Structure 1
Amino acid sequence: MQTLATVHLVRHGEVHNPERVLYGRLDGFGLSELGRRMAVDVAAWFARRADEQGRRPEIVAASPLLRAQQTAAPIAEALDRPLRTEADVIEAENAFEGMSDVAATLKRSPRLWPLLRNPLTPSWGEPYRQQAARMLATADRVKDEALEAGGPGAEAVLVSHQLPIWVTRLAVEGRPLAHDPRSRECSLTSVTSLVYEEGRALPRVEYHEPNRALLKDASSLPGA
């Protein structure tokens, strides 16, 4: 099948979070020193890929949150593209945002227990279906923009967050959206590529870990 366009969903790098807070959409959580290295390295990966293909992604955009913006900036610079913000690839909403030990807090706070009533939605945060819908709507729009600018084979980069990226992948692969967070294949600065092909209603998925060697030194908490 002919590839029409590819939208790369990039998870941000490691966050400076010594208190291990579930940071969600909170302001002020930027990249750690290792996270900044990850951002530079994934930018180099995209630059090498562009050199091999003889073309650059047409669009580089990121969630408005600091950690995503800091991850996307070196990518935009390496590809000589302006960095823009896409509000709908932001992290998921989460009622437990700001807690440093969610399990312990829940154990001593029965008033929070009703938030756990339906893990399939999930009841404590933004519904999985809503996350996937906003992510796919943005990816589809950006794909069309890239295709118009670069023609068949055009690419775009969206820097986002683990949970929205993962449920988007589950959605396009036709898998249930409810899941165990430990099962997510979406490591720091990983690249989940949505490959749009002629004749297919949904994109197929490719997955890459440009910074696999750095992951052993990284601290990673599910964002939502």
Structure 2
Amino acid sequence: MVSAQLHLVRHGEVFNPQRVLYGRLPGFGLSDLGREMAAAAADDLVARGRTVAALYSSPLERTRQSAEPISRAFDLEPVIDERLIEPTNRFEGSRLRGAGGALRNPANWPLLVNPWRPSWGEPFTSIARRMIAAMTDAASASDSDGDLVFVSHQLPIWMAHRSIVGARLAHDPRQRRCALSSITSFELQNGRLHEVGYADPAARLGAQATDLGAV
């Protein structure tokens, strides 16, 4: 029997003409390119020839929209799980770099005092804990042998990855392996999650994309 897998899918490019860190702010949906990227992720899952038993999504607009092509491909109604959401971030709505960027404003420097926690938002430990709980709870609740798909955000997916592979949660954000509409896959073996793959099905579109949503 083929083991069921759990796939963490990141959302596609967001329409963000002001180039701000959007975090949990409302009104930030996918761009036209982002919809193409989300479709590429769905196509990749279909091409694997695996049964998908359930689909879960963060409640934010960009993840719900990214779940739509997967929902259509597998005829599944997405289940909204708050634990898959983007972390809180004190820089929401700001441009981080360039003229007038929040990182140049001395008033914001106290927020940067501990990047290993991080001091500007939800602790890495909290993000990893809720993501893994969402994954394992869904696996426990599943009454079929099919795969489970979770549509989430860059940092939550990266925290799940680092926690599961035993890496330190503190990291350099520039080194994250979590492209727009990428798929990070796991299996639950003997009660423990193991990473089994990473795919970037929207890579051909990535060079055109703007990715400014997380720190």
- Normalised-by-shorter TM-score class: over 0.9
Matching of residue 204 in structure 1 with residue 195 in structure 2: yes
**Structure 2 counterpart of 1:118:** 114
Check the 8 A contact 1:192/1:206 in 2, yes or no. yes
**Aligned to 1:79, which of 64, 74, 77?**
74
Question: How far does residue 83 in structure 1 lie from its aligned partner after superposition?
Answer: 1.4
Distance across 2 between alignment mates of 1:185 and 1:173 = 13
SS at match of 2:155: helix
Tell me which amino acid in the other structure corresponds to 1:145: A
What is the match of residue 159 of structure 2? 167
Matches within 5 A, 1:30-179: 30-49=29-48, 52-53=49-50, 56-102=51-97, 104-108=101-105, 110-146=106-142, 149-151=143-145, 154-179=146-171
Matched to 1:75, the amino acid is I
Query: 2:36 is aligned with what amino acid?
Result: R
Q: Which among 178, 184, 196 is matched to residue 192 of structure 1?
A: 184
Question: Residue 216 in 1 paired to residue 213 in 2?
Answer: no
The alpha-carbon deviation at position 135 of structure 1 amounts to: 0.2
The answer on whether the counterparts of 1:96 and 1:102 sit within 8 Å (CA) in structure 2 is: no
User: CA contact under 8 A between 1:6 and 1:143: conserved in structure 2?
Assistant: no
**CA offset at residue 20 of structure 1?**
0.7
- Aligned partners of 2:176, 2:184: CA distance in 1, in Å? 12
Residue type at the aligned position of 1:220:
D
Name which of structure 1's ranges 61-70 and 206-215 shifts more when overlaid on structure 2.
206-215
Instruction: Give the TM-score normalised by structure 1.
Output: 0.90
Letter in 1 for 2:12: G
Once residues 40 and 208 of structure 1 are traced to their aligned partners in structure 2, the CA distance between those partners, rounded to angstroms, is 14
1:150 Cα deviation (Å)? 1.2
Tell me the SS of whatever aligns to 2:187: strand
CA drift of 1:112 comes to: 1.9
- Alpha-carbon separation, structure 2, partners of 1:102 and 1:75: 34
Quick one: which amino acid aligns to residue 36 of structure 1?
R
Aligned to 1:21: 20
Normalization by structure 2: what TM-score? 0.93
Report the residue type matching 1:150 in the other structure.
Answer: S
Figure out how many residues of one structure are paired with residues of the other and give that number. Answer: 213
Unaligned runs of 5+ in 2: none
- Offset of residue 48 of structure 1: 2.2
Q: For residues 181 and 18 of structure 1, what CA distance do their matches in structure 2 show?
A: 22
Could you say what the CA RMSD is over the residues aligned between the two structures, in angstroms?
1.6
In 2, the alpha carbon distance for the partners of 1:78 and 1:186 equals: 23
- Contact in 1 for aligned 2:117/2:123 (Cα 8 Å): yes
By percentage of residues, which structure has more helix? 1
List 4+ stretches of structure 1 deviating above 6 A. none
How far is 1:222 from its partner?
A: 4.4
Unaligned ranges ≥5, structure 1: none
